[in-house]
Amino acid sequence: MKVIYKITYPNGKIYIGKDLTNSINYFGSADSKIIEKDFTREQRHSFTITKEILWESEIASDKEVSQKEVEYIKSHKSNDPAIGYNLWPKTKNPKA
């Protein structure tokens, strides 16, 4: 099963990614250095995130999954630094 997922962090910001194997233990490749700037040392002691499957397919090609990922990033605006942690595709007018 191939999936598109949304990770929600305690500050409400999101990251959208794809997983071509639907691993329960995969939480994406968001840039840790960017995320850690949003949390104090103390806040990082107990940290809960939510992973939500937005879309899944048993038959989609890897290319189709990649296209779906971009669709979801754009529709959720997770590439806007005020909203999320996706660095790609670049947003044209970030609200940073």
Q: What is the pLDDT of residues 13-58, one digit of tens each?
A: 999 999 999 999 999 999 999 999 999 999 999 999 999 999 999 9
Strands 50-57 and 14-19: unpaired
71 CA to centre of own chain: 12
In this model, does residue 94 exceed pLDDT 60? no
Residue numbers of the domain that contains 72: 2-76
Residue 13 maps to a domain: yes
Residue 16 maps to a domain: yes
Q: Decide: residue 78, CB within 10 A, 0-12 exposed, 13-18 middle, 19+ buried.
A: buried
Bridge partner list, 70? none
18 CA to centre of own chain: 8
Residue 9 maps to a domain: yes
Q: How many domains does the chain have?
A: 1
Residue 90 maps to a domain: no
- Overall pTM surpassing 0.75 (yes/no): yes
Residue 43 maps to a domain: yes
Residue 72 maps to a domain: yes
